[in-house]
């Protein structure tokens, strides 16, 4: 058996390539949307992708299941659990291998000598499946469980996302109880040696205490996870209370991901060649409001000068996460033009953006030379008491805000600022001073608010600089 974990550091998301070396067949589970990595793995190992499956309707990234199935000519396997409100759309029935296989508990996917068995594990979402993996060449018993967003290393999937980002009302309570039951009746009935392969790692917003170790075992989680004691004592209410407390803010783009992942993400096929702009060409396109410029530098460089109304998405490493904060492709139809050192860097950046459904990257430019620049407004911490402003905005998570914030600051995480415009003073009413912890997230959010027409002043150095200021002056 061949098993490879493909991990996206940007979104803290793991997909899995699993192959039978005897027959050359392979399955990919929870694929991302830029699919070259799976095609290359298949070619490297002399295998064919004969199945593409996913554990549930994802919220944090746009699924690559349809994309990879079309590219590989493979059938799609999706959940048919959870009831009528959680049925995948007809887009999944338009694959090259015909209608998707809609699985219920106990369904088995044969992959050569391997068997993948669906286990209904609701809680994170009602339709959620986990997959038991058995290497039939070695044993008749499963040795692995691919848990999706059900069980992580040291944590479990949060059940409140349907409330926080998908329009649900108080679904978190029933979800938490379902999660308790799934742990008790499914996960903890497995032998301790079964290896746990989760879909997320540390840094994901799908849980609050995810470990950085890539894998675990049923026994380790049973004995050392925070939730183990509650299951051992059959304390459902204690489990529910701790699970639902202190969860991080859910980025608003999760709702868009849920919607598209349910109906079937658009196919992108072969990516077109990016256009390399000259300064004069880009200046003309900007003047005509035909494109949106993405400044990919860090905030310190941006603060020295950037293109007016540009969006700051600093570096490819977090392009998907930050890009989804400030670009809503369901609304923004204009082409995106990137600042990139080379075509290769621009293509890498584009690959990250398509993971969250931002497909309208059209071109790039390698230098700001020849472009008209503006300097974003900054306010130093020791000057904060002297600047008139109508709002002091903390764009960190609510848990960070609770640990300490500037007096009088209002909290709205950076991943929500573009979707909660009703919380801001009217445009033209005065300056909004924004900050995060050190400046990166603030620069992203501030660039989007400026583009929307708000008068923004960024707190230079953000909260860390304010804390370090010898005298924190009164704020007006």
Question: Binning pLDDT at 50, 70 and 90, where does residue 322 land?
Answer: very high
Question: Tell me, what's the pLDDT at 164?
Answer: 65
Lowest-pLDDT range of 96-100, 209-213, 248-252, 385-389: 209-213
pLDDT tens per residue, range 442-460: 999 999 999 999 999 999 9
- Give residues with Cβ within 8 angstroms of 191, minimum separation 6: 141, 218, 219
Cα 355 to Cα 31, 65, 175, distances in angstroms: 10, 12, 27
Tell me if 275-372 shares its fold with 378-468.
Answer: yes
> Bridge partners of 28?
17, 52
Alpha-carbon 210 to chain mean position:
14
Reference 148, options 112, 186, 177; nearest CA is: 186
Cα 319 to Cα 125, 298, 308, 351, distances in angstroms: 26, 12, 20, 9
Whether the predicted pLDDT of 337 surpasses 70: yes
Whether the predicted pLDDT of 474 surpasses 80: no
Whether the predicted pLDDT of 130 surpasses 90: yes
Q: Residue 19 and residue 26: Cα distance in Å, rounded?
A: 4
Inter-residue contact 295 to 306 (CB < 8 Å): yes
pLDDT tens per residue, range 160-214: 887 766 666 678 899 999 999 999 999 999 999 999 999 998 765 655 556 678 9
Cα 215-220-223 angle, rounded to 5 deg: 150
For a pLDDT cut of 90, what percent of the chain falls above it?
89
Cα 369 to Cα 18, 338, 393, distances in angstroms: 48, 14, 33
Whether the predicted pLDDT of 233 surpasses 80: yes
Question: Binning pLDDT at 50, 70 and 90, where does residue 476 land?
Answer: very low
Q: Return contacts of 268-272, CB within 8 angstroms, 24+ apart.
A: 268/33, 268/67, 268/354, 268/359, 271/347, 271/350, 271/354
The arithmetic mean of pLDDT across residues 420-437, rounded, is 95
Cα 356 to Cα 139, 330, 360, distances in angstroms: 39, 12, 12
**Residue written as tokens 């840094």?**
203
pTM over 0.75? The answer is: yes
Would you kindly state where each structural domain of the chain is located, as residue ranges?
A: 2-263, 275-372, 378-468
Reference 449, options 330, 248, 253, 312; nearest CA is: 312
Q: Residue 235 and residue 180: Cα distance in Å, rounded?
A: 9
Q: Which fold would CATH assign to domain 2-263?
A: Metallo-beta-lactamase; Chain A (3.60.15)
Whether the predicted pLDDT of 64 surpasses 70: yes
Question: Tell me, what's the pLDDT at 162?
Answer: 77
Q: Residue 171 and residue 182: Cα distance in Å, rounded?
A: 16
Q: Residue 150 and residue 341: Cα distance in Å, rounded?
A: 40
Domain at 275-372: CATH code: 3.40.250.10
pLDDT tens per residue, range 132-159: 999 999 999 999 999 999 999 999 999 9
Give the architecture-level CATH label for domain 378-468: 3-Layer(aba) Sandwich (3.40)
Average pLDDT for the chain: 94
């Amino acid at each position: 058996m061949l098993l490879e974990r493909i991990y996206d550091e940007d979104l803290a998301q793991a997909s899995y390539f699993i192959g039978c070396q005897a027959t050359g067949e392979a399955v990919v589970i929870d694929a991302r949307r830029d699919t070259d990595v799976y095609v290359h793995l298949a070619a490297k190992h002399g295998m064919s992708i004969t199945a593409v499956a996913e554990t549930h309707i994802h919220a944090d990234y746009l699924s690559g299941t349809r994309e990879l199935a079309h590219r590989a000519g493979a059938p799609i396997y999706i959940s048919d659990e959870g009831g009528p409100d959680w049925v995948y759309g007809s887009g999944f029935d338009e694959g090259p291998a015909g209608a998707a296989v809609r699985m219920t508990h106990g369904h088995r996917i044969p992959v050569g000598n391997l068997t993948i068995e669906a286990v209904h594990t609701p809680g994170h979402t009602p339709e959620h499946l986990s997959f038991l993996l058995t290497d039939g060449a070695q044993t008749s018993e499963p040795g692995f469980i691919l848990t999706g967003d059900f069980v992580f290393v040291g944590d479990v999937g949060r059940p409140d996302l349907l409330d926080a980002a998908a329009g649900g009302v108080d679904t978190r309570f029933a979800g938490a109880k379902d999660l308790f039951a799934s742990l008790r009746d499914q996960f903890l009935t497995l032998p301790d040696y079964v290896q746990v392969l989760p879909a997320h790692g540390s840094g994901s917003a799908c849980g609050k205490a995810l470990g950085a170790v890539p894998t675990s075992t049923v026994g380790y989680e049973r004995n050392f996870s925070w939730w183990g004691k509650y299951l051992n004592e059959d304390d459902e209410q204690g489990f529910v209370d701790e699970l639902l407390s202190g969860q991080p803010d859910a980025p608003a783009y999760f709702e868009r991901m849920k919607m598209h992942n349910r109906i079937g993400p658009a196919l992108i096929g072969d990516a077109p060649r990016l256009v390399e702009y000259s300064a004069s060409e880009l200046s003309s396109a900007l003047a005509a409001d035909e494109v949106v410029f993405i400044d990919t530098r860090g905030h310190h460089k941006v603060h020295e000068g950037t293109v007016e109304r540009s969006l700051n998405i600093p570096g490819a490493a977090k392009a998907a996460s930050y890009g989804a904060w400030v670009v809503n492709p369901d609304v923004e139809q204009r082409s995106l033009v990137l600042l990139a050192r080379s075509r290769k860097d621009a293509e890498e950046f584009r690959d990250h953006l398509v993971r969250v459904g931002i497909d309208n990257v059209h071109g790039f430019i390698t230098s700001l030379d020849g472009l008209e620049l503006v300097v974003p407004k900054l306010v130093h911490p020791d000057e904060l008491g002297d600047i008139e402003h109508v709002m002091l905005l903390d764009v960190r998570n609510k848990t960070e805000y609770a640990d300490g914030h500037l007096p009088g600051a209002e909290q709205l995480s950076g991943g929500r600022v573009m979707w909660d415009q009703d919380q801001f003073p009217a445009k033209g009413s005065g300056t909004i001073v924004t900050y995060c912890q050190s400046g990166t997230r603030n620069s992203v959010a501030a660039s989007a608010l400026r583009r929307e027409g708000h008068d923004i002043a960024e707190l230079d150095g953000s909260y860390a600089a304010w804390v370090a200021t010898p005298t924190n002056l009164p704020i007006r």
